[in-house]
Amino acid sequence: MDELLEFSLLVFGKLRSREDATKHYESLEVGARLDVAISDTSVSGCWFVGEVTRFTGADQFPIYNTPYPHTQIADAFSTALRNYILYGGGNRGAKVR
């Protein structure tokens, strides 16, 4: 699981550090969902991203985005959006619990 998290954060960081990120990828400052898979379950398999979904459509996990107490994703995105609006770009604080 640590390897998956490390890979996901690496890809997300690379997207956010692109030269054109503030123009074309500003919504990533609020959040996104990376659909990550592995090419093969053997030791020769490697991680890849099949899709990057912006935060406005990244809440497609009903068990975590339904009424209380299953609000982890909605809470994280709303906190990130609030912080982005109030404090500007570079928000890296909201995380799904």
pLDDT 10s digits, 60-82: 666 666 777 777 877 888 898 89
C-alpha neighbours within 13 Å on the C-beta side of residue 54: 8
Residue 12 DSSP one-character state: H
Q: What is the pTM of this model?
A: 0.68
pLDDT 10s digits, 31-63: 888 999 999 887 888 999 999 988 877 666 666
Say if CB 55 and CB 81 are below 8 A apart.
yes
How many Cβ atoms from other residues are within 10 Å of residue 26's Cβ? 13
